Amino acid sequence: MRTDAHDEQAGADAAAPVDGAAEVLSAGLLLTPARPANAFEETVQRLLQSIRLGLIGPGERLPPERELAGMLAVSRDTVREAIGSLAEAGWVVSRRGRYGGTFVSEELPTASPRSSTLDRDPTDQQARLEDTLSLRAVIEVGTARRAAESELAAGDRERLWQAYEECRAARGDQYRMADSRLHLLIAEVLGAPSVIPLLADVRMRVNELLDGIPLLAPNIAHSDQQHRAIVDAILRGSPDDAAAAMAEHLEGTEALLRGFYA
């Protein structure tokens, strides 16, 4: 779906970022309390999600152990064990000294989505693909609609536009992360915390599938246009348009994934 020139300009004027804009998406968005029974496993999961979805990017520092323990509601020992495991696997590195701490690795481990996710019985592969795509459609179309229905604060409007611009400017390996941040931000501005981990989980599943296919320039250009339509509709407060634009966007991804995997 495309907006006309007047509506596009209105969206741009309403959301154009200002100098010194706040952080688009908080690094701690997914670092919420873990369940005690699986504290270590969930700590690893949430740190990995934060890294793989780009909330804490390559070369950036993780919050200090004490702060992470408070955010995740686990002990510092649990945080230390989780970070140690991620360091062994190559996801983070520790540095000593005045400017030390734990940092995301500059080069992240290479995933093997075809072997880990799709190297299985064809019937099971197809079922997983359809389950992931159906779940994504239910969550993301509804999220876009509710975001457009919401009374967004000026800061949230600015962050949405900035996330769109960052996604449009991203290239190569950075595109998936920027794309994920935009979709997660749409969920965050709803102010419904229960939606965020659901969208993060399904986004991880979709990215795992997308990592197994090449980045296609025409598809990226088309996605940028669709992202613009989604953000414009949300900023105009047009729920039907936002839902339709998101549905069209997801259908494009579904077509590619079915083409490569089905």
User: pLDDT tens digit string along 84-100?
Assistant: 888 988 889 998 887 88
**Position 18 pLDDT exceeds 60:** no
**Position 170 pLDDT exceeds 70:** yes
**Position 8 pLDDT exceeds 90:** no
Number of Cβ within a 10 Å radius of residue 64: 13
The answer to whether 25 touches 181, Cβ cutoff 8 Å, is yes
Q: Looking at residue 25, what is its pLDDT?
A: 64
Of 80, 104, 128, which residue constitutes the final position of a domain?
Answer: 104
State the chain's mean pLDDT as an integer: 82
The DSSP symbol for 4 reads: -
Higher per-residue confidence, 222 vs 38: 222
Give a yes or no: residue 30 inside a domain.
Answer: no
On whether both 138 and 72 belong to a single domain, the answer is no
On whether both 119 and 203 belong to a single domain, the answer is yes
Give a yes or no: residue 55 inside a domain.
Answer: yes
On whether both 88 and 122 belong to a single domain, the answer is no
On whether both 200 and 125 belong to a single domain, the answer is yes
On whether both 116 and 155 belong to a single domain, the answer is yes
**Position 14 pLDDT exceeds 80:** no
Looking at beta carbons, which pairs linking 14-19 to residues 24 or more positions away fall under 8 Å?
14/157, 14/235, 14/236, 15/157, 15/158, 15/160, 15/161, 15/231, 15/235, 16/158, 16/161, 17/158, 17/161, 17/162, 17/165, 18/158
Q: Looking at residue 30, what is its pLDDT?
A: 67
Give a yes or no: residue 209 inside a domain.
Answer: yes
Give a yes or no: residue 24 inside a domain.
Answer: no
Domain range enclosing 225: 111-261
Give a yes or no: residue 119 inside a domain.
Answer: yes
**Which helix (H) or strand (E) segment is 92 a member of?**
strand 92-95
On whether both 84 and 122 belong to a single domain, the answer is no
CATH number at residue 221: 1.20.120.530
On whether both 219 and 136 belong to a single domain, the answer is yes
- Partnered with residue 93 across adjacent β-strands are 103
- pTM as predicted: 0.70
